[in-house]
A and B are shown apart, each in its own frame.
Chain A
Amino acid sequence: MVGGFRWAAMFPDEVWEHVFSFLPADADRNAAALVCRAWYRLERRSRWRVFVGNCYAVEPAAAVRRFPEVRAAAIKGKPHFADFNLVPSDWGGGAEAWVEAMAEGWPHLEELRLKRMVVSDDCLELIARCFKNFKVLSLVSCEGFSTAGLAAIAANCRYLRELDLHENEVEDNCLHWMSHFPESCTSLVTLNIACLEGEVNVSVLERLIGRCPNLKTLRLNHSVPLERLVGLLHRAPQLVDLGTGKYAAQHHPELFSRLESAIAGCKNLKGLSGFWEAGPTFLPAIYSVCEGLTSLNLSYATIQGPELIKLISRCKNLQRLWVMDLIEDEGLIAVAASCKLLQELRVFPSDPYGAAQPISLTEHGLVAISAGCPMLHSVLYFCRQMTNAALLTVAKNCPNFTCFRLCIMEPHTPDYITRQPLDAGFSAIVESCKHLRRLSLSGLLTDLVFKSIGASANRLEMLSVAFAGDGDAGLHYILSGCKNLRKLEIRDCPFGDKPLLDNAAKLETMRSLWMSSCSVTLGACRQLARKMPLLNVEVINERKRGLPLELQPDNCPVEKLYIYRTVAGPRSDTPSCVWILR
């Protein structure tokens, strides 16, 4: 446009880049890049942070070419249901292609965050070698590497600030990897090794943190004994976030008082986690810092209700609480009374599979929290019973929910009082919570709940559905509504071909769709793939019996289906159990 050209020429490029620097959100930058060629050119040269929500949505080389000045990249790989073993272990999500392209085109890369990807030691060595200014490595739910790879990072990344390993599966083959941090390494701000299974040389760790005065976050693994925690805290009293190691030892009054004073010495402590094998004995050692805590993760501690109550009642400023269902309703009532600033609550099941000990954690706990905590906006709640009435009350109390994930552990569980489906309850949630971005459903649900979700959940970005619905209508409501839906994951629902084909265009507006154990046939997948060239339609069939997929008839049922939009075409690293239909 002539008008656009005149504007662009009015100011030198640097001015425009400065203007664009005020647009941190990728969506805004993407919009600016579409205005005219000049803005496209300017924007791409000034973007230094890139987020790739699906590693297969774009070719690594293309991303690197388009944004040559990137300093920070975040990339996600496997679908979310990989967390629950629904995705074959060899499905993909390998990081090599990305790391190689980045090593080539982004030599100044400083930050790399990978989630649910397969990262090899070779990748880590490449990162350690190629990025001279590397500062931040964050690996979340990744696998494929070992402590030998970590040794390479430790040895070579001279300016390393953050090494954040969150829930990865790491092979332990290099016992002394931490000794590879040179004496000159003094820049660490975050060190999170909580997921490592092997022994840690605590003396080496002590020396490391002793020379890193800016260390703010330290999360240990369960091999670090409680006695050694004292020494570590003495060397890092400036800590803001601490993950303890093993939080149990033989009872010893001297150890208790040393621990208590070491913790009290950390005047800036805001977050606590770890607490492996914690029993009641050493919990009171943290009482002195409770009032300052904003984040408390007790979800690995099998501490019972009474002790939990004594602890949490002191945490008046808590914003985030992760805990096991051992807290029970009584504990949550105490939380509701004490933690008025609570924003996020996660209650995990202590015994997901058995009915070993009946835990008295019911809908009452959830209702109490919703009533007592006005700032609550994010909930993850595992329980065994629920009522529509309780959900209606929660919806009324908390119109500000952004994330509501309820898991009633037995599939198809109805309202235990009325024996009705829980449609009314979840409908109330989506109708009341206008800012809801993430929702997970459970319990007995008919197509009616999907009608409400489709109609009301306008800000919903991610929906997880399991063992719900009556038929195709359910899926159709979702795909024809939910304007902002990005990720949809479905398992064990009677949803078939028709809603998929009728809403094919919708799938291009979303990042991805996962369906497993539903009623989709191969024929529909083939049609979809033909109709929508910008989608990869991946059919996953692990059983491998009978004919190869190309020869199977259209009515062959599809076990697992993963559909995602992409500009990269079909990927070349599919394992034998995955077929990409064209």
Chain B
Amino acid sequence: MSTTETGNSSTTESAVSGLDYEETQLTLAASGASRSELERKRGFSEGVDLSLETKDFLSGSSDEAPISGAGEPSAAKAQVVGWPPVRSFRRNVLKSCTYVKVAVDGTPYLRKVDLEAHAGYQQLLTALEEMFSCFTARNYPNERLVDPVNGTEYVPTYEDKDGDWMLIGDVPWKVRSSSNFTGNIKGFGSHVEAINKEELEGAISTIHGKHHSTENNLVEW
């Protein structure tokens, strides 16, 4: 007997602390009826992330860093409930640490990227490039929400506590606080005000513990 399920009458609050990795993965499978509203919102982000994943963004790089806005599942390991015995309070704090808010001049909204989801600085740059490329070149045919009447594109966003407009879907649903969708983002990590190469490197090296040499061919935004 390994995995036991916690009671499914639990609120999303306790589900957050339940930390079921299976639940934080984006799937198209239908879940409980009570979550239909969540599904609708998640539906779009699924669309976005799926489209990102089907493309090969990593030009020539050998390690396939999965681009995920939804928390990277560790290599097919079954999550045993309550093991290792780390308090949910401690787990949640750690997890939220690695999300970085990314702002690019001239774009209507910011993005959040999980630094931990990328193996290195180069992969992160590539991922960020893709995240913001939709504003410069419309070169990937994918399922975007388009109003059939006037062709306006719809993107679900929300305004966070700093007054920034954020695209929904970067942060896995369960990591976000359950109760508050349009207000406080609770417990999120480093806020990168502008794309400052040193700060971003510093933030990454804090997470990964490596020292990245400054490369000359960095993309400057």
Contact = CB atoms under 8 A, between A and B. Distances in A.
A202 to B, nearest CB: 15
B116 A356 contact: yes
A83 B88 CA distance: 7
Interface string B196-208: 0001001101111
Interface in A334-355: 348-355
A281 to B, nearest CB: 8
B93 A302 contact: no
Contacts of B81: 84-86
Contacts of A172: 184
Contacts of A279: 202-203, 206
Contacts of A201: none
Contacts of A440: 85
Contact of B184 (A88, A198, A277, A352): A198
Nearest to A467: B83
A303 B75 CA distance: 25
Interface in A368-424: 382, 407, 409, 411
Contacts of B35: none
B82 A84 contact: yes
Contacts of B86: 84, 348-349, 352, 382
B82 A89 contact: no
Contacts of A300: 90, 93-94
B6 A85 contact: yes
B94 A222 contact: no
B188 to A, nearest CB: 10
Contact of A222 (B17, B77, B187, B202): B187
Interface residues of B, number: 53
A276 B7 CA distance: 32
A354 B114 CA distance: 15
B80 A89 contact: no
A88 B6 contact: yes
Interface string A248-284: 1010000000000000000000000000110111000
A352 B91 contact: yes
Nearest to B89: A167
Nearest to A410: B84
A303 B209 CA distance: 9
B128 interface: no
Contacts of A303: 206
B37 interface: no
Interface string B103-116: 00000000000001
Central interface residue in A277, A281, A349, A466, by most chain B CB within 10 Å: A277
Contact of A302 (B82, B89, B206): B206
B89 A195 contact: yes
Central interface residue in B82, B88, B205, by most chain A CB within 10 Å: B82
A438 interface: no
Given A84-B83, A466-B83, A353 B5 contact: no
B206 A304 contact: yes
B43 interface: no
Central interface residue in B11, B93, B199, B209, by most chain A CB within 10 Å: B209
A167 B187 CA distance: 14
Grouping DSSP codes into helix (H, G, I), strand (E, B) and loop, the B interface class, with mixed when no group exceeds half, is loop
Contacts of A248: 190
Contact of B206 (A85, A89, A280, A349): A280
A26 interface: no
A577 interface: yes
A304 to B, nearest CB: 5
A407 B209 contact: no
Contacts of A195: 89
B18 interface: yes
B74 interface: yes
Nearest to A384: B84
Interface in B158-211: 161, 177, 179, 184, 186-187, 189-190, 193, 199, 202-203, 205-209
Interface string B69-80: 000101101011
A517 interface: yes
A277 B85 contact: no
Contacts of B189: 277
A192 to B, nearest CB: 14
B4 interface: yes
A350 B86 CA distance: 10
A197 B209 contact: no
Nearest to A279: B206
A542 B5 contact: yes
B53 interface: no
A410 B43 CA distance: 35
A250 B200 CA distance: 12
B209 A86 contact: no
Contacts of A277: 97, 189-190
Given A167-B89, A169-B13, A352-B84, A516 B4 contact: yes
B202 to A, nearest CB: 7
A485 interface: no
A361 to B, nearest CB: 12
A197 B178 CA distance: 13
Contacts of A305: 209
A303 to B, nearest CB: 7
Nearest to B117: A356
B85 A83 contact: yes
A464 B83 CA distance: 13
26 contacts: A83-B85, A83-B87, A84-B82, A84-B86, A84-B87, A84-B88, A85-B6, A86-B81, A89-B10, A171-B179, A197-B177, A281-B202, A300-B93, A302-B97, A348-B90, A350-B94, A357-B209, A407-B84, A411-B83, A464-B85, A466-B85, A492-B1, A517-B2, A517-B4, A542-B5, A559-B4
Interface of A: 81, 83-86, 88-90, 141, 167, 169, 171-172, 195, 197-199, 222, 248, 250, 276-277, 279-281, 299-300, 302-305, 326, 348-357, 382, 407, 409, 411, 440, 464, 466, 491-492, 516-517, 542-543, 559, 577
Given A199-B184, A542-B4, 15 more contacts: A84-B83, A84-B86, A85-B81, A167-B87, A169-B13, A222-B93, A248-B190, A250-B193, A349-B84, A349-B86, A351-B94, A352-B86, A357-B209, A407-B85, A492-B2
